[in-house]
């Protein structure tokens, strides 16, 4: 809803400018700046509440909550009133805990209870809290210690965020006509997708019906007269005519030859009716022009060939044809060509609305592809950039890791840098970034310079360089801790969280995969996974296993409940694992080591998208031998694909494949539900 309000405000602003209503425009801008509902943006409302809490503005906090209550919460049914009261109680407790945690200022704590005494003294949930200012160490008291934990504060903020999000989603019934366009667009899009899916189902059913009908006809078809009488044909009908040795017998052979031609024509006519396929018809026409001696042989041999061709033509080629066994149909493929050098990273944000892509020249493009492909922002960096990651909450923020030891937090809506964090001068290469699902922190992998002193060296050295794995707080923009990397500090190439952020998996330059417990902030297990470096790691759909691709070219599935145990293994071609090579004129070769994501899963975790020399390749996970079964080739690239991503929404998914010539292909797929 927040995005719909934003777009509506922009349209109204454009209209006022077009009409020349400048005074009205000024009033509108002032009203928007003072808007307490923040354009129905949940993140901004929570930021405003936190701002009151952090500045210890109790009156402002109470006034703002009362405004939300009068404006929004009063519209809810009575059954939700208890939920609103619980959230208000938690908000006040969050304020009280903050006065003790941050400044240890008992005056602010006592001020809260003095001002709220009349309102709270009759409530049972506040009865024990009035002794809080008089306890020497309340964070150690069993009754209050849970409220001082980070887990409680994060749980409260997430609950408040979810409650407001659901509230705004349910308010579409009361929206004015001007704001309801977004719902109409979503409804139209949903109907279009459903209609496309139904059309594909109709085509599939028609194909199955036609194949079944042809099969029935093949089973019950009566053999042609020519085939039935084949065993009664005389030798003179099958032997070629020799004009020299058989000259005296030509008048006698003319009659059988004429009968044979007639039989052949009748047989060809029946075959055309039986195999009503264009390729078969063309083949039959050619047979009609063949020699008399070859005609019987061709008539017998072509029957299995025609049926085989019928089966093959039902498959899905690169163009995305229809097949009953094919899990995806390629509906379209578009190209984003704003980059002028090789792509390093290409990632879709959590909402699936925007894409951020980074090339080797340090140019970042933020762009959207729905409903049209459009560049939203361009970021130029003086220092080399090595890593890129979308923040989860809010999803408009982008984390950018450089080669000079800094990480930038960039706001793609405001198009400006919010923060620039100095990580470590001794480890200036930021190789990997991963934001936790809650959005409260992110993991940063920092590595020392290579032995040659350059940011990138190709090929990589056999001795892994030193590295660090750090946890940073997104809100305070401060380092929380440094993870222990055993047996020695090593460069971490890739990182990934599980769905709730309790586990973190990393792949390192020493070929070791490490699994970290993010509740204890320590390594839970580690094992040597690949000969050479680990390039890419991801959790499986059920999060019981981890997949990895390494320098040895292997795609391996690991059981995280049994350390170092393989569940499956598949050797991939070099163009799927790197190093990637682009050949040019006069023997010129450009070599790029893997930096971005080398594989991505669909929404159900049953299929995986990988790189190749001419486009993305989709495999089915078989959990057997072989571990991967090729399903669909997306194609479309003239240079090697170096990174991929897969964004799934409903039944239509978008596959992103980025190559060394700076081209990014968006392939829209339709999943066929079995």
pLDDT of 261 reads 60
Is residue 584 packed enough to be buried (19+ CB in 10 Å), middle (13-18) or exposed (0-12)?
Answer: exposed
pLDDT of 403 reads 92
pLDDT of 247 reads 43
Q: What is the mean pLDDT of each run of 10 residues along the chain (674 residues)?
A: 68 80 83 72 85 86 86 79 87 86 73 82 82 81 85 89 81 58 74 85 77 57 45 41 42 50 64 51 44 39 36 36 65 91 92 90 91 89 90 86 93 89 90 92 91 46 79 90 89 93 94 93 92 94 93 93 89 90 78 92 91 92 84 92 83 86 91 71
**Per-domain residue ranges of the chain:** 40-173
Q: At what angle do helices 278-288 and 250-274 cross, to 10 degrees?
A: 170
pLDDT of 300 reads 35
- Kindly state the tokens that stand for 103: 């400044």
Nearest to 177 by CA among 375, 18, 8, 49: 8
Number of Cα atoms under 13 Å in the Cβ half of residue 563 = 11
pLDDT of 503 reads 94
Cβ count near 193 (within 10 Å) = 16
pLDDT of 116 reads 82
Nearest to 337 by CA among 662, 7, 673: 662
N-terminal to C-terminal alpha carbon distance within the chain? 34
Cβ count near 596 (within 10 Å) = 22
- Neighbour order of strands in the sheet with 599-601: 599-601, 607-610, 617-621, 628-633
pLDDT of 253 reads 44
**What residues pair up with 505 in beta bridges, in sequence order?**
496, 515
């Amino acid at each position: 809803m927040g995005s719909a309000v934003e777009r509506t405000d922009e349209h109204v602003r454009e209209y006022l400018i077009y009409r020349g209503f400048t005074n009205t425009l000024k009033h509108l801008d002032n009203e928007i700046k003072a808007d307490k509902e923040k354009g129905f943006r949940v993140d901004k409302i929570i930021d405003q509440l936190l701002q009151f809490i952090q500045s210890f503005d109790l009156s402002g906090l109470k006034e703002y909550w009362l405004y939300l209550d009068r404006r929004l919460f009063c519209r809810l049914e009575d059954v939700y009133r208890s939920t609103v009261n619980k959230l208000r109680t938690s908000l006040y407790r969050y304020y009280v805990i903050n006065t003790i945690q941050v400044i240890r200022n008992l005056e602010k704590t006592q001020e809260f209870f003095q001002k709220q005494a009349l309102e709270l003294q009759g409530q049972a949930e506040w009865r024990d809290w009035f002794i809080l200012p008089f306890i020497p160490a309340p964070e150690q008291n069993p009754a209050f210690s849970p409220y001082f934990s980070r887990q409680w504060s994060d749980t409260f903020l997430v609950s408040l965020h979810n409650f407001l999000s659901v509230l705004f989603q349910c308010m579409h019934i009361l929206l004015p006509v001007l704001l309801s366009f977004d719902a109409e667009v979503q409804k139209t899009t949903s109907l279009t997708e459903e209609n496309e899916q139904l059309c594909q189902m109709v085509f599939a059913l028609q194909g199955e019906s036609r194949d079944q009908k042809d099969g029935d006809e093949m089973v019950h078809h009566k053999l042609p007269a020519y085939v039935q009488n084949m065993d009664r044909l005389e030798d003179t009908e099958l032997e070629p005519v020799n004009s020299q040795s058989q000259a005296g017998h030509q008048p006698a052979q003319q009659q059988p030859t004429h009968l044979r031609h007639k039989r052949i024509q009748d047989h060809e006519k029946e075959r055309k009716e039986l195999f009503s396929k264009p390729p078969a018809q063309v083949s039959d026409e050619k047979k009609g022009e063949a020699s008399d001696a070859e005609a019987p042989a061709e008539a017998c041999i072509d029957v299995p060939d025609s049926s085989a061709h019928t089966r093959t033509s039902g498959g899905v080629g690169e163009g995305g044809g229809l097949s009953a066994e094919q899990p995806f149909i390629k509906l379209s493929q578009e190209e984003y060509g704003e980059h002028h050098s090789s792509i390093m990273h290409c990632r879709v944000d959590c909402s699936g609305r925007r894409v951020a892509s980074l090339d080797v020249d340090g140019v970042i493009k933020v762009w959207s592809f729905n409903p049209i492909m459009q560049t939203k922002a361009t970021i130029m960096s003086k220092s080399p950039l090595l890593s890129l990651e979308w923040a989860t909450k809010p999803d408009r923020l982008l984390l950018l890791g450089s080669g000079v030891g800094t990480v930038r937090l960039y706001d793609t809506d405001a198009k400006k840098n919010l923060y620039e964090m100095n990580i470590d001068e001794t480890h200036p290469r930021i190789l990997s970034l991963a934001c936790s699902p809650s959005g409260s922190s992110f993991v940063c992998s920092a590595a020392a310079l290579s032995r040659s002193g350059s940011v990138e060296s190709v090929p990589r050295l056999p001795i892994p360089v030193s590295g660090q794995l750090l946890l940073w707080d997104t809100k305070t923009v401060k380092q929380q801790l440094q993870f222990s990397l055993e047996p020695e500090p090593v460069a971490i190439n890739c990182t990934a969280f599980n769905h709730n952020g309790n586990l973190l998996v990393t792949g390192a330059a020493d070929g070791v995969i490490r699994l970290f417990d993010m509740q204890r902030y320590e390594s839970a297990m580690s094992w040597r996974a690949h000969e050479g470096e680990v390039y890419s790691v991801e959790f499986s759909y059920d999060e019981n296993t981890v997949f990895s691709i390494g320098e040895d070219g292997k795609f391996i599935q690991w059981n995280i409940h049994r350390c170092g145990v393989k569940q499956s293994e598949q050797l991939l071609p070099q163009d799927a694992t790197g190093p990637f090579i682009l050949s040019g004129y006069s023997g010129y070769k450009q070599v790029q080591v893997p930096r971005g994501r080398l594989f991505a899963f669909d929404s159900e975790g049953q299929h995986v998208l990988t790189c190749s020399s001419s486009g993305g390749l989709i495999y089915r996970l078989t959990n057997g031998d072989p571990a991967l079964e090729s399903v669909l080739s997306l194609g479309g690239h003239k240079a090697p694909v170096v990174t991929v991503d897969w964004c799934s929404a409903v039944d239509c998914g978008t596959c992103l494949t980025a190559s060394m010539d700076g081209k990014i292909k968006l392939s829209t797929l339709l999943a066929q539900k079995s």
